Every structure is written in C-alpha cells, then in structure tokens.
Amino acid sequence: MKKQEKFIKIFELSVSKVLFDFINNEVLRGTNINKKRFWSGFNKAVHQLAPINKKLIQSRHKMQRSIDNYLLSKRGKKLNKKDYKKFLRKIGYLKKNKPNFKIQTKNVDKEISDICGPQLVCPVSNARFLLNAANARWVSLYDSLYGSDIIPETKGAVKGNTYNPIRGKEVISYSRNILDKLVPLKEESWKNLKEIPKIKNNKVNLKLINNKQFVGYSKISGSLFSIFFKNNNLHIEILFDQTGKMEINNPDGNQDPLKIHDIFIESAITTICDHEDSVAAVDAEDKVLGYRNWLLLMKGKLNSSFFKNGKKVYRKLNKDKSYISPNGSRLKLHGRSLLLNRNVGHLMTNPCILLKDGSECPEGILDAFVTSAACLHDFKINGNSRNKSIYIVKPKMHGPDECLFTDLIFKKVEKVLKLRENQILCGIMDEERRTSVNLRECIRALKKRVFFINTGFLDRTGDEIHTSMEFGPMVLKGDMKSSKWIRAYENNNVEVGLSCGFSGKAQIGKGMWAMPDLLNDMLKQKISHPESGANCAWVPSPTAAAIHSLHYHQVNVFSRQKEILKRKKAKLDDLLEIPINPSNNKWSKFQISEELKNNTQGILGYVVRWIDQSVGCSKVPDIKGVGLMEDRATCRISSQHIANWLHHGVCSKKQVLEIMKKMAKIVDRQNLKDKSMKDQSPYQSMGENYYQSIAFKTACDLVFHGKSQPSGYTEPLLHFNRIMKKSI
C-alpha cells in the first residue's frame, strides 16, 4: 500500500509536501518572488478562478444536452444547416463574428515569427526525450537517412548492427542530391566535387547559383571545419574531416572523397514540452517530475545519463553554434529548439492541492503558475527566449469564453510573478469543434498574446463524434479524413490565421505524423503541410524533424501564404457537416469486426502502458503491426467511435467485449516482444485474468461509458484508474 501523502496548510490551501517543497526550494529560489508572495497570490487567484472554471465546464455539459436533444429530433432526416446554425447561435455555441482585426502580439522570438520548420512534441516527464528534442534544432542528415527507410535495404545496403559502408555510400549519394537541390552550384554537381572548398578573405571558392546562400564558416586548429549555408531562412552546416580521424567508430564521413564528415540541418525549430496528452500525471509526484524537468530546461541545466550498447552515455543541452560571416564578424546560431510549454486544459483537477472547500485544484491554473515561475530563471540567461517571453500552448479550449478565461488566468499569473503585461504568450489548439467554428473570436479573445494556432485532427474528430453522437452512426474511422468538414477545418485554420495577421508574427501549425518508422511515406506526403501555408507541423522524433525540414527548404511558406489570402474561404456549413454513415451504405459483418479490432487494438495498447507503466505517449502496433504514435487524442477518437456504434446498434456490447478480450491477448504478445517495455516495471498481462487487470477494466470503461464522458475525454477515467493502480 502506498504511503499516505503529507499536506502542508498555507493560507486557505492544503498543498502536497512534495509540491510545496519543490516550489519553495527549487522554483522560487534565485528569483525575486518570495514564498509568501507566491502562495498568497496563488491562493487568492485560484479561489477567484476555480468557480469560473467550474461554470465553464458546466456550460459545456448544458450545451451538449441541448445539442443531443436537437439532433435526436432530427435523426433520420437531412440536417437543415440554416436551422442548425440558428439553434447553435441560440444556445451560445456559435458566436457572431465581430469586425476584422489584427493580432497585437509583441516580443515574439524569430523561431515563431520568421522561421518555418518542424515542431517536435515531447512528454515533459522524460528527461532523456526532452534533451533529444531540445537538441534537435540541429540534426545529422547522414544519421537520419542511414537509420530510416528512405534508403532501401537492397543490394547489400542493410542497416545491420554495425556500420555498413555500402549503406553509407548510398547515404552520401542521397545527401549530395539534396545539396544539389538546396544549395545548387552553377556549373557542376556536389557529387562531382573532388576537393574540400577553400576560404579566402572569408569567402568560399564555390560557384553558387545564389552567392547569398553562403553565410559563414568555422575553423578548428587553423583548418576549415564547417561551412554554413542558408535556404528559406533555414541553415545547413557541412562538416569536413580533414584528418580522417573524426568519429573513428562511425566512419561514414571517412569514406567520402570530398571528406564531408556529416551534414547538419536546422530541424526542430520549436518544441512543445507537453504536460498534457503525452504524459500520465495524476498526483503531486507525477506533476513535480514534469515541473522539475521544465525548470531545469529553463535553467539550462537539464542532463541525463543512460546505458547504450553497454556504455554509459551522458547527455546535456547543446551549446550555440559559432561561425565567421562573409564580412569577418563572429556570429552565433542558437543551438537548441525554442521550447514551448503545453499546459493542461480546463477540465481536469489534481489532488496535489486542495482548496478551502476541500475540492481539488484545477490543474490548468496550477500549470500556468508553476511553469511560468520556472521561466523566471530563463530570463537571467536568455537560454530559451531571447525576448524574455513565456510560451504556453493551451489545449482543449471550447470557444471564445474559455479563451477569455485563459487570458484571465495569465493576467493573474503575471501580477503575482511581477511580469510585464502580456509577457505570457498563448498558443491556441484549434482542436475542439466549438473552437474551430468560432476560431476568429477565439483569437480575438487572446489577440495581445496569441503566438500560435494549430489543428488537431484526432481531438477534433473525437469531439465531432461526441458532439454529434445522437445524429447517427459515424463513418468508418479511416473515412473520416475524406469527410467534408476535415478539408474545411484545415483550410479555415490557415485562412483565419492569415486574415488575423499571423504571417510574419505567429505560427500556423498542422498535426502529427503518426507513423515514426515510415519516414519515406512522410517524405512523400508531409510536404502538403508547408504547401497548405502552415509555418510548422508536428513530428514525433528528431529524425522525423530532420526529414520534414527538407520540405520547408522546398516550399517558401510566406510566399504560399500570400497566395492563400486570395483564395475562396472555407464555408461554415462545411465545418458543421456531420460525418454520419449514409443510410444506403451497409457495412458487412467483416467490416464492422475489423473496425472494432483496429479501434480496440489502439485503445488496449495505449491504456495498458498508461495505467500500468505511467507512459502517456507510446508507439503501439496496429493490427497490421505498423507502429502508430498513440496518445489521449487517439484514444479519444477510438473509444468515442465504438461508443457511437454501440449507441446506434451497429455492434453489441457482447460483440465488443469478446473482441476486447481477443485483442487483449494480441496486445500482450506484442508488448512482451517490445524491447522498450523491458525498461519499465514487469509487464502484467491483461489476457491472463481480464477482471483483475485495472488496465483492461479502464479500456472497457472508456468504450462502454464513452457516451457519458465529458466531451468524450479519456482523462477522467484514465486518471482515476491510474490512481487506483498506484495505490496498490
């Protein structure tokens, strides 16, 4: 049995001693905010904000009941959009657009305003992953190509356990082709160069089609070490091995006649350090783990050690890159990704702090205070934001009223922490239906601090299913991407952002590539994101960031945004199109069974890691064995989809339970083979005793009680059952 947690009484709060000591001794120490100011300010603010928070959640429930009743009365009929919009306006779900405006955000770092490129999302609870992500500002193109499926394992070019010169040769050849595209020479190809370039009077002797692309070089012991180029505001560094002794155990550069040891490309321009969908944080112990990692990042002191191939490896934050420009001046390039912090949304509370009435503290309010306080340390060293700005991404907000509430939270934080007005900048996750149909007014509510809007297909689909639950059975999950509302949603996000003045000031983002092992497919497909006018798009790993960065070299996003401003705008009627299955489209028993297997596979594979291992985001094999990135958003859509089909009689509870039991055994076998699972605590099978497994029970609850979950979210059930698991 877990030892009972100690609480400290301060003002009207009862605070977990673990959290209390961490804030006092680690977060506040070295800042100009003393303990009394912080706790008295937090106490006053949280007791003012919590009732508003509660009313907003109640408003969600009230609107959902009204929508349920309306759609129930229209079931089996064609939806009259004019009447539907009138109804949504009457209940306050749909807001009237006010006059046009432009955002007024100030003090935005150039990574947000000027540079278009990949955006990593990383769980804040894993220090090693965080370091990899922060350091993914610069990633080896050679390593990324060598380890990915972009280079086929044919004609002897297999990856193997040791370095393969045949594969290395293919990597070098592929990289030369990339240089020919991104930094083209006038009269020849990079593949045909025989000598290391020379620097004279700070100029390189290469004949470039665009001489402005050469921005500098670096030397070691008097010899040329690297040259820097720039394309679409992204840097490329070519490193040379003039001694033949660089990285002897990884001699990929040594076999190159031009002695190019490696090519480093600017990759993850920004990184979201995530407290939300990719973590499993249910109490003070979990929250402090994430908070401490964020604090150490802001202090520039995060480090990690681990064993790799039998050797202990130490990892810390990269230093900035230094180089000499063509005019002879010494310059620096930032060595790390700009770090953003994704707080949790407005729904969840956390037992690490109890309010005066004994209720749990709204977790989003706590996140705002603690993560912002940690940034006070960054202001001393300018290691992250050179403009002394705090970047908080706020997810799962439902409409303008909740955006206004976020603004109010940040105002309270700024007052307590003695920050300037609007020093906390806000990213809006455009992932809930009420936000996407009111996006302009959501941005207006945060117009002085918004730095980012981003689509989230999975959460938006989960909310679509839950909101429209009563209207009919939803289409197959794979057919969702061809639904009319999806295209309107993605286009509307870009169009509204541009009309509000985001170009050159703030980010417009796109969603995650969910198949981290299929990077060749990503290389072919994800260019659609910069082509859509998005400044950034999510990637699951540093390697994926390096590959996706090539797309931003090929597409000038700012030019594309100018073109998009001229196109016909997305229609509200299309955004409100409900993706139910047409009555004349009957699914076979096989189709229904396969859809249920696919959904339950993802749910079980994700939930067993969340509940038993406290892993909030993981690569889970689907029924075909393809590894898919799963988090609470993917779990939300899968569980809501089955709940919808159950509600409309497409399948039965007995059928779903039988499939859940069958898939539990398959997931068990997959997990027992998974090397990453061996690093966790001993795996507990779900299939050996279904009714003793808290994880299996949780997965069932998400499906069979999915309709009653607030907005279809998975958090309440996941948190409750994880706490149960931790108490054993």
Same domain for 312 and 283: yes
421 in a structural domain: yes
pLDDT at 306: 82
324 in a structural domain: yes
529 in a structural domain: no
Helix and strand tally (H, E) in the chain?
Answer: 24, 25
What percentage of the chain's residues is helix, strand, coil (to nearest 5)? 45, 15, 35
Same domain for 597 and 570: no
pLDDT at 252: 47
27 in a structural domain: no
Active-site residue, from 631, 668, 674, 701? 631
pLDDT at 248: 40
Contact 481, 595 (CB under 8 A): no
pLDDT at 114: 98
Alpha-carbon distances of 590 from 269, 593, 628, rounded to whole Å: 45, 5, 23
CB-based burial, 512-532: b 16+ in 10 Å, e otherwise: bbbbbbbbeebbeebbebbeb
Question: The domain that contains 402 carries what CATH number?
Answer: 3.20.20.360
Q: What is the rounded radius of gyration, in angstroms, for the C-alpha atoms of the chain?
A: 26
- Active site includes 521? no
46 in a structural domain: no
Q: Largest Cα–Cα distance in the chain?
A: 80
Same domain for 258 and 282: no
pLDDT at 678: 57
Where is the domain boundary, 213, 233, 266? 266
Same domain for 192 and 66: no
- Tokens 């940040």 correspond to 410
Same domain for 626 and 504: no
Same domain for 291 and 201: no
Token pair of 64, please?
Answer: 């959902």
Q: Torsion-angle region of residue 485: left (phi > 0), alpha (psi -120 to 50) or beta?
A: alpha
- Active site includes 65? no
For the chain, 728 residues long, the average pLDDT of each consecutive 10-residue run is 80 98 98 98 98 98 98 95 98 95 98 98 96 98 97 95 92 96 94 91 95 96 94 97 57 68 96 96 97 98 86 92 96 97 98 98 98 98 97 98 98 98 98 97 98 94 98 95 94 98 98 95 97 97 98 98 96 97 83 96 95 91 84 96 97 97 94 71 86 96 98 98 94
Active-site residue, from 336, 342, 433, 632? 342
9 in a structural domain: no
| DSSP 8-state secondary structure symbol assigned to residue 310 | T
Three state DSSP letters for 157-217: CCCCCCCCHHHHHHHHHHHHHHHHHHCCECCCCHHHCCCCCCEECCEECCCECCHHHEEEE
Token pair of 454, please?
Answer: 């981003």
Same domain for 643 and 596: yes
Q: Which of 50, 585, 11, 3 is nearest to 360 (CA)?
A: 50
Where is the domain boundary, 219, 235, 266? 266
Alpha carbons 276 and 544: distance in angstroms, whole number: 22
pLDDT at 253: 45
Alpha carbons 622 and 643: distance in angstroms, whole number: 20
Question: The domain that contains 694 carries what CATH number?
Answer: 1.20.1220.12
Q: What are phi and psi of 361, to 5 degrees?
A: -70, 135
Question: The domain that contains 231 carries what CATH number?
Answer: 2.170.170.11
Same domain for 602 and 685: yes
Same domain for 86 and 150: no
154 in a structural domain: yes
3-state secondary structure of 354: strand
628 in a structural domain: yes
Where is the domain boundary, 545, 575, 605? 575
Same domain for 562 and 466: yes
Alpha carbons 682 and 705: distance in angstroms, whole number: 29
* Residue span of the structural domain in which 698 resides: 589-727
Alpha carbons 17 and 26: distance in angstroms, whole number: 13
- Global pTM exceeds 0.85: yes
DSSP string, 372-413: HHHHHHHHHHTSS-TT--EEEEE----HHHHHHHHHHHHHHH
Same domain for 381 and 485: yes
The total of structural domains in the chain comes to: 3
Same domain for 570 and 436: yes
